Amino acid sequence: MTGDQPGSPQTRPSLVRALIDRFGHLVRELSKFATVGGIAFLVDFALFNYFAHAQQVEQVTAKTISTVIAATLAFLGNRFWTWRHRQRSHPAREYTLFFIFNGVGLGIAVACLAISRYGLGAVWPEVFQTAVADNVASYLVGTGLGTLFRFWSYRRFVFVEAGTRSLPEAARERDRPA
pLDDT at residue 133 above 90? Answer: no
Give me the amino acid identity at 97: L
pLDDT at residue 138 above 70? Answer: yes
Verify that 37 and 97 share a domain, yes or no: no
* Domain-located, residue 4: no
| Domain boundary residue, one of 85, 117, 151 | 85
Q: In terms of pTM, does the model score above 0.75?
A: no
* Domain-located, residue 1: no
- Residue numbers of the domain that contains 19: 11-85
Verify that 33 and 44 share a domain, yes or no: yes
Verify that 93 and 166 share a domain, yes or no: yes
Q: How many domains does the chain have?
A: 2
Verify that 177 and 94 share a domain, yes or no: yes
Provide the pLDDT for residue 178: 57
| Domain boundary residue, one of 59, 85, 111 | 85
The answer to whether the CB of 101 falls within 8 A of the CB of 33 is no
Mean pLDDT of the chain: 81
Provide the pLDDT for residue 35: 96
Verify that 105 and 69 share a domain, yes or no: no
Contacts 24+ apart (CB under 8 A), 78-83: 78/32, 78/33, 78/36, 78/154, 78/158, 78/159, 79/159, 81/32, 81/36, 82/29, 82/32, 82/33, 82/36, 82/159, 83/29, 83/154, 83/155, 83/159
- What is the CA angle 33-44-80, rounded to 5? 35
pLDDT at residue 164 above 50? Answer: no
Share of the chain above pLDDT 90, in %: 22
